[in-house]
């Protein structure tokens, strides 16, 4: 694949990714992916992974499901032993290849999506429930100013 500089693209249903599905609130949706094998200028074998998918997560603020568009764009350096990791450029993540040189592209895509999930998913459009924040403070009708705690003293001073 590397020598031939093979490229793959296609669609993958989210429901087909079992480990990812366990971290989601729903498994609807389809991932659009592009995978490109090649060698960089230093001769290092790599796999470029680009994935776009809408994932249904549970908002940790409101506990409601919401759809988060996730985009992955990473380069994985294909290595056969952990010793080779030090030779990878700093912007390349290592991907350890088994001795039989077989690689499951589904697992690679799923791993990259798992890594892209937010640690604490929060819907940017959510608000805290009223039972958590309490009711909104009511406006006082005294010319927009809050009650002065010294007003009682002022009244006493007049007498």
Q: Say how far apart CA 77 and CA 96 lie, in whole Å.
A: 8
So what's the pLDDT on residue 22?
A: 94
2 CB-side CA count, 13 A: 15
Return d(Cα 114, Cα 47) in angstroms, integer: 17
| pLDDT band at residue 9 under the 50/70/90 scheme | very high
Q: Helix/strand/coil (H, E, C) string of 17-30?
A: CHHHHHCCCECCCE
Binned at pLDDT 50, 70 and 90, residue 138 comes out as low
Q: What is the pLDDT of residue 59?
A: 92
**pLDDT-derived band at 99, boundaries 50, 70, 90:** confident
Q: Is the pTM of this model over 0.85?
A: no
Residue 137 has pLDDT above 60, yes or no: no
Question: Mean pLDDT throughout 10-25?
Answer: 95
**Does 97 or 124 have the greater pLDDT score?**
97
């Amino acid at each position: 694949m590397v020598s031939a500089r093979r490229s793959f693209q296609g669609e993958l249903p989210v429901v087909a990714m079992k480990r990812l599905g366990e971290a989601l609130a729903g498994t609807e949706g389809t991932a659009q992916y592009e995978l490109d094998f090649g060698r960089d200028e230093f001769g290092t074998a790599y796999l470029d992974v680009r994935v776009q998918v809408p994932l249904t997560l549970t908002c940790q603020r409101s506990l409601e499901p919401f759809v988060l568009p996730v985009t992955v764009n990473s380069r994985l350096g294909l290595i056969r032993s952990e010793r080779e990791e030090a030779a990878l450029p700093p912007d390349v993540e290592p991907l350890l290849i088994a001795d039989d040189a077989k690689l499951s592209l589904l697992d690679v895509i799923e791993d990259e999506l798992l890594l892209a999930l937010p640690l604490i998913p929060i819907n940017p459009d959510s608000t805290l429930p009223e039972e958590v924040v309490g009711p909104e403070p009511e406006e006082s009708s005294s010319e927009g100013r809050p009650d002065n705690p010294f007003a009682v003293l002022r009244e006493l001073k007049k007498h």
